[in-house]
Structure 1
Amino acid sequence: MIESHPSGGYILEELVVGMTAEKRVTVTEARIQAFAEASDDFNPVHVDEAFAAKTAYRGRIAHGLLSASFGSAVVGTILPGAGAIYLGQTLNFHRPVRIGDEVLAQVTVVAIDETAARVVLRCDVFCGEHLVMDGEATVRVPRRRRPAKSA
């Protein structure tokens, strides 16, 4: 398990397949409300207990993309960290996340394309022992600057 790089982000040349970072986050009412405001997604399954109680989930659940955003937080702040730019993301949702749940977002480097300065990251989110979301992110990573050519 790695920590944040002292500079704020790892450059391409510092990354190796298998590097893993994680972040624990508790899903709160305030986070769900803030996410609804930021995304303009006020689906009542997320914000209305009376409505959500009548669904197959028998109560409110967090936005799936809120759970995915915790993986994004790992990518943007730890691995690779500052300077990483998302190019693509796949997501698979397996179980609902509820208010009060503590989730663990885990990101692992699975492939490195040195020519294109891109990495593929496995993104998993767990609630306890249960996998609630997984997918892969492709991100562009800063590389070491090449020395200027002499004249």
Structure 2
Amino acid sequence: MVELVTAHPSGGYILDELRVGMAADKTVHVTEERIRLFAEASDDFNPVHLDEAFASKTAYRGRIAHGLLSASFGSAVVGTILPGAGSIYISQTLGFHLPVRIGDDVDVRITVISVDQDSARVELNCEGFVAGKKIMDGVAVVRVPRRRRPQKG
């Protein structure tokens, strides 16, 4: 059973608050600017992402977003909603199924699939959709804080 959650009031869930089935969603609009900024940040200037004339001659028949740009939307959920602040990526598998284009809305869902109390790690099912079609999926392993830092002041 899936239990859709929002960001924890503290900014992040701690290990004892996480349960299998907890999930969080986020929708991100893909823009020309996001693709350009991702190219700058990643140093990936593949013309299939940036040059319409080049990309129109590929199997995709036009520009597509970087796969890892779409995957980074999942990272945004992990870092800000579930588990949230203080969580650290350990690993991530990824499968890309369909291209993402400028103007698409990517709907990301992150779902807790296991909680390991001994290692303070959780496994998260990561999925992305455009117009209801799965564009990517994978599993992340994330380390989660065991307790919150005390407030100062």
Aligned to 1:75, which of 74, 78, 83? 78
Map 1:2-151; keep pairs closer than 5 Å: 2-144=5-147
SS in 2 for 1:55: coil
SS in structure 2 of the partner of residue 109 of structure 1: strand
The residue type equivalent to 2:91 in the other structure is G
Deviation at 1:40, TM superposition (A): 0.2
Measured after TM superposition, the shift of residue 129 of structure 1 is 1.0
- What's the CA shift for 1:132? 0.1
RMSD: 0.7
Partner amino acid, structure 2, of 1:66: L
TM-score (norm 2): 0.94
Any gaps of 5 or more consecutive residues in structure 1?
146-151
- Cα deviation for residue 73 of structure 1 reads 0.2
One-letter identity of the residue aligned with 2:58: T
Give the counterpart letter for 2:61 in structure 1.
R
Amino-acid identity (%): 70
How far does residue 58 in structure 1 lie from its aligned partner after superposition? 0.2
Q: Which runs of 4+ in 1 moved over 3 A?
A: none
Alpha-carbon displacement from aligned partner over 1:39-76 (angstroms, at most 9, x marks no partner):
00000000000000000000000000000000000000
User: TM-score, normalising length from structure 1?
Assistant: 0.95
| Residue segments in structure 2 that go unaligned for 5+ positions in a row | 149-153
How many matched pairs? 145
Give the AA of the match of 1:109: V
Deviations 1:64-116 (A, max 9, x none): 00000000000000000000000000000000000000010110000010000
